Amino acid sequence: MVGFGIDFGTTNSVAAVFNGREVTSFVDSNDLPHPSVIWYQGDSQPTVGREAKERIRDFENTPGNKFIKSIKSQIHKEEEFEIFGKSKYTWQIASEIFRFLKQDARNRYQSFPAIEEAVVTVPLYFNGRQRRAIRKAAEIAGIAVKTFIHEPFAAVVGYLLADQNQLHTLKEKRENILVFDWGGGTLDITLVKLDSGCLYEVSTAGSNGKSGDYFDEVLMSYVIDTFQKDKIIPSEGFRVDPGIESLLLHEVEFAKIDLSRKSSASIELFDFYTDSHRNYALYQDIERSQFESIIQTYINDAMQLVDRVLHDARLQTSQISKILLIGGTSRIPLLISKMHKTFGVTKVIQIPNADTVIAEGAAIISYHNWQPYLVQSIGIQLADESFYTVFYSGTILKPDTTQKEVVLFCTDNREGEGRLIITEKLNSQEHKVKEIINVPISKVLQKIYSERVVANFTVDKDVILTISAKGSVKDEPIYTDIHDLCYGLRFA
Amino acid sequence: MNQSTQTFTTYVMAYGLLNLILVIKMTEKSNLKLKSNLMVETVNGVEVKNAREQIHYFPGDFAAEIEPHRMKDTRMREIYFTHQQIIEYQQTIVCYTCKKPCAGTCSKSK
């Protein structure tokens, strides 16, 4: 028996498998995760992954080619993409990434069975609609989603259970772990609490855009500006060929990665620029300090977000036991040194398999069949201002455990509606109203004794709470979905 | 400042105060709208405690509309309704002297 996990990322995606002893990530031939880039060329099957990414600049502006990047960040959108005259929903496009991951694993890792079902990871801020769209995408590719797990939880599991002997101690541990995930497209900082076999989110913060891919663009602009100044080329008419720019971006990305290990990196490109007189080659050395001065503001912004996460959780740095650095951008030495200063050297962990740890954690969760659970109770506010708990905190979110029919009588029908107030219990004192459903009921006073509101509560596989409520006036019930249930991960 | 100006100022202030009270009352009303008018009877077909005490959860004024005879009879109201419901009902009774639902607080009834 094996368990599969899929990290469907904004910039990169990767699948992994766990067989009970060791985890294997289905990376590409360069030992890297697959870029989440889809390249459509006419009616043929699209190209996905590194090949697609490397051709963006060459063919982006050529008719008959369409590239789609970062489809994950657009998955919530209802509108359709126009691809060579055909309309496609975002989840139909995203399905190409799942199809590619499945096909690539089958072609290159033949000792493992095909991916038929998997635990898929999602960011904390993803709501039910986004999860539902991802499920559709996976299902089109022939992959059933066992369950959705938040990315930071999968990262913690992937890191802590890299050594399977830790499994027993994990159920007794109580720790606050800061997961700092800075990849190509987004920065997600999450404070996770590990408490007696449960993992849940305490506070979170993040930002979009100012991440690895953006740093590549910034560094590329710096290189081009420096080249122009060195060669004293006038700005007027100066334009680097898009194909060459594509090569440069590629070189710059590798230089940036090099600068995390070395104090300087070189970029060389022959025939970089041609004007009416001559050809220019590009030879440029970039010092780490130069790169750091370019991105310093963004590093400071990231550290401010760390402060905010701690502040929201009302915790001091001393109360954090581990800081897991995940994603390529978190390898930048300036960031690491700032983390060391804030938390101390021993607590900051640079995960060596930072690109694949989320998928690996998901594979371990899938193998053990661990389930998400409800962190905060869901209830109904009643007429006497008490609360009836429909689903208790700790309820495992499986279809058979999360179905309830509640029949309510009415205490006042003068307004002709039953007011069903759905709440989430924040603590012993506080309830937060999640939804108010006004159910039409009879206004005839004497019908008060026979009037009933029948409410059905169901949590589906996408962790969406659906409530249907019906009174006597209308035949059809009113449906409401709650997409932002707070859920954690429970070890069996 | 002559007497007519003073009287005018007093009127303006009183009008302002009245407006303020109205605003506060309206806010309270909108907050009250959040109150539920439902109580649980059964869960997955199983009856919960107090499921048969529907009448005890009616607001007092509404209880008086539904069961006027029981509410108006002082002896019966003690049997059928809760203390809270009786207070709520009494607050809606229009006072004979001040012609408002003063619940016995107006100066005339004292």
Mutate to test the interface with B, among A386, A403, A408, A451 (most CBs of B within 10 A): A408
Beta carbons of A383 and B62 less than 8 Å apart: no
For Cα atoms A253, A255, A257, give the angle at the middle one, nearest 5 degrees: 70
The residue of chain A with its CA nearest to that of B84 is A384
How do strand A186-195 and strand A198-208 relate by DSSP bridges?
antiparallel
Picking from A85-89, A152-156, A375-379, which range would have the lowest pLDDT averaged per residue?
Answer: A85-89
The residue of chain A with its CA nearest to that of B49 is A388
For A210, residues 6+ apart whose C-beta sits below 8 A from its C-beta are A187, A298, A301
Confidence (pLDDT) at B71? 87
Name the strand (E) or helix (H) holding A410.
strand A403-410
Q: What is the arithmetic mean of pLDDT over A232-256?
A: 83
Q: Work out the mean pLDDT of chain B and round it to a whole number.
A: 73
In chain A, the N- to C-terminal Cα span, in Å, equals 17
Judged by a CB distance cut-off of 8 A, whether residue B22 touches chain A is no
pTM of the model: 0.81
Identify whether the C-beta of residue A252 lies closer than 8 Å to the C-beta of residue A220.
Answer: yes
Q: From CA A228, how far away is CA A295, in angstroms rounded?
A: 21
Stretch 51-80 of chain B: residues touching chain A, C-beta under 8 Å: 51, 54, 57-59, 62, 65-66
Q: What is the arithmetic mean of pLDDT over A101-114?
A: 93
CA A432 vs CA A154, A378, A425: distances in Å:
28, 10, 6
Q: From CA A212, how far away is CA A440, in angstroms rounded?
A: 52
The residue of chain B with its CA nearest to that of A415 is B37
Judged by a CB distance cut-off of 8 A, whether residue B30 touches chain A is no
What is the 8-class DSSP label of residue A383?
T
Distance from CA of B19 to the nearest CA of A (A): 27
Identify whether the C-beta of residue A405 lies closer than 8 Å to the C-beta of residue A455.
Answer: yes
Which chain A positions have a beta carbon within 8 Å of B92's beta carbon?
Answer: none
| Residue A192: strand pairing partners | A177, A201
Confidence (pLDDT) at B93? 81
Identify whether the C-beta of residue B103 lies closer than 8 Å to the C-beta of residue B90.
Answer: yes
In 3-state terms chain B splits into helix, strand, coil percentages (rounded to 5) of: 55, 5, 35
Q: From CA A161, how far away is CA A154, in angstroms rounded?
A: 10
Confidence (pLDDT) at A86? 84
Burial of B29-62, coded b for 16+ CB within 10 Å and e otherwise, reads: eeeeeebbbbbbbbbeeeeeeebeebbbbbbbbb
Confidence (pLDDT) at B9? 52
| Residue A200: strand pairing partners | A193
Judged by a CB distance cut-off of 8 A, whether residue B40 touches chain A is yes
pLDDT tens-digit map of A422-453: 999 988 788 889 999 999 999 998 899 999 99
Judged by a CB distance cut-off of 8 A, whether residue A467 touches chain B is no
Among partner residues B34, B38, B48, which is closest to A410 by beta-carbon distance? B38
pLDDT tens-digit map of A345-396: 999 999 888 889 999 999 999 999 999 999 999 999 999 888 999 999 999 9
In 3-state terms chain A splits into helix, strand, coil percentages (rounded to 5) of: 35, 35, 30
Classified as helix, coil or strand, A190 is strand
Q: From CA A437, how far away is CA A79, in angstroms rounded?
A: 28
How do strand A348-350 and strand A322-326 relate by DSSP bridges?
parallel
Q: Which residue has the tokens 């055909």?
A: A86
Which chain A positions have a beta carbon within 8 Å of B44's beta carbon?
Answer: 404-405
Identify whether the C-beta of residue A80 lies closer than 8 Å to the C-beta of residue A88.
Answer: yes
For A127, residues 6+ apart whose C-beta sits below 8 A from its C-beta are A76, A483, A484
What is the 8-class DSSP label of residue A13?
E
Q: How confident is the model at residue B19 (pLDDT cuts 50, 70, 90)?
A: very low
Among partner residues B37, B43, B48, which is closest to A410 by beta-carbon distance? B37
H-type alpha helices, A351-485: 357-368
Q: What is the arithmetic mean of pLDDT over B81-86?
A: 90
Confidence (pLDDT) at B10? 55
Q: Which pair of tokens denotes residue A138?
A: 């996976």
Q: What is the arithmetic mean of pLDDT over A93-98?
A: 96
Confidence (pLDDT) at B109? 60
Classified as helix, coil or strand, B41 is strand
Among partner residues B40, B54, B66, which is closest to A406 by beta-carbon distance? B40
Q: Which domains does chain A have, with CATH numbers?
A: 1-162+356-369 (3.30.420.40), 176-352 (3.30.420.40), 371-490 (2.60.34.10)
Confidence (pLDDT) at A135? 95
Beta carbons of A445 and B37 less than 8 Å apart: no
Distance from CA of A80 to the nearest CA of B (A): 39
Report how far Cα B105 is from the mean position of its chain's Cα atoms. Answer: 14
Identify whether the C-beta of residue A316 lies closer than 8 Å to the C-beta of residue A328.
Answer: no
Angle between helices A288-313 and A242-259 (to 10 degrees): 70
pLDDT tens-digit map of A60-82: 778 888 899 889 988 877 778 88
A209, pLDDT greater than 90: no
pLDDT tens-digit map of A273-315: 887 778 888 898 999 999 999 999 999 999 999 999 999 999 9
Q: From CA A216, how far away is CA A227, in angstroms rounded?
A: 16
A234, pLDDT greater than 80: no
Q: What is the arithmetic mean of pLDDT over A143-165?
A: 90
Interface A–B counts its CB contacts (< 8 A) at 79
B31, pLDDT greater than 60: no
B27, pLDDT greater than 70: no
Domain boundaries, chain B: 1-31, 55-110
Distance from CA of B81 to the nearest CA of A (A): 13
Identify whether the C-beta of residue A313 lies closer than 8 Å to the C-beta of residue A287.
Answer: no
Identify residue A433 by its one-letter amino acid code. Answer: V
Judged by a CB distance cut-off of 8 A, whether residue A421 touches chain B is yes
